[in-house]
């Protein structure tokens, strides 16, 4: 389901923001559909064990940003258990730009969200 949403988003939005230099010009109906798709994506994220973090899109974005930041937590420098953290409450879900993501270790990621440390093991990896 997530892959279908992401495929339609990519079709409507054109090249990923990783590759794009100019803002795209789109029809109002395409913009409206994009909003619907983003909402659907956000809903899958909120479901426990949601599909979004298992999608090939997210896995490649997370791998890319970890590689780009040298496989280190940007807060404490640790190289263990790294997650790609969304800085802005998932506004750019499905179309993350490098500036929207921070590489954090589990401890720093939990702190960023205010999650209790005990909750670590329940948090899916790769986020
Ligand atoms: Zn850290």
How many angstroms separate the CA atoms of 4 and 9, rounded?
9
pTM exceeds 0.75, yes or no:
no
Centre of ligand 1 to C-alpha 95, Å, is: 25
How many angstroms separate the CA atoms of 56 and 76, rounded?
28
Centre of ligand 1 to C-alpha 73, Å, is: 5
Centre of ligand 1 to C-alpha 102, Å, is: 11
Centre of ligand 1 to C-alpha 119, Å, is: 16
How many angstroms separate the CA atoms of 2 and 77, rounded?
32
pLDDT above 50 (res 120): no
How many angstroms separate the CA atoms of 97 and 104, rounded?
16
Q: Are 39 and 5 in contact (CB under 8 A)?
A: no
- 6 Cβ neighbours under 8 A, 6+ residues apart: 41, 55, 57, 94
How many angstroms separate the CA atoms of 77 and 92, rounded?
25
Centre of ligand 1 to C-alpha 99, Å, is: 18
Centre of ligand 1 to C-alpha 44, Å, is: 27
Centre of ligand 1 to C-alpha 78, Å, is: 5
pLDDT digits (tens, 9 = 90+) for 34-91: 888 888 887 777 666 667 888 888 899 999 999 999 999 999 999 999 999 988 766 6
pLDDT above 80 (res 103): yes
């Amino acid at each position: 389901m997530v892959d279908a949403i992401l495929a339609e988003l990519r079709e409507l939005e054109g090249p990923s923001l990783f590759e794009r230099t100019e803002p795209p010009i789109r029809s109002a109906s395409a913009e409206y559909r994009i909003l619907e798709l983003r909402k659907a994506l956000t809903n899958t994220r909120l479901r426990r064990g949601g599909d979004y973090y298992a999608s090939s899109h997210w896995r490649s974005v997370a791998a890319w940003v970890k590689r780009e930041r040298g496989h280190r937590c940007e807060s404490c420098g640790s190289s263990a258990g790294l997650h790609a953290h969304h800085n802005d409450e998932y506004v750019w879900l499905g179309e993350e730009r490098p500036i929207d993501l921070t590489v954090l270790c589990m401890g720093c990621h939990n702190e960023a969200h205010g999650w209790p440390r005990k909750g670590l093991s329940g948090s899916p990896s790769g986020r």
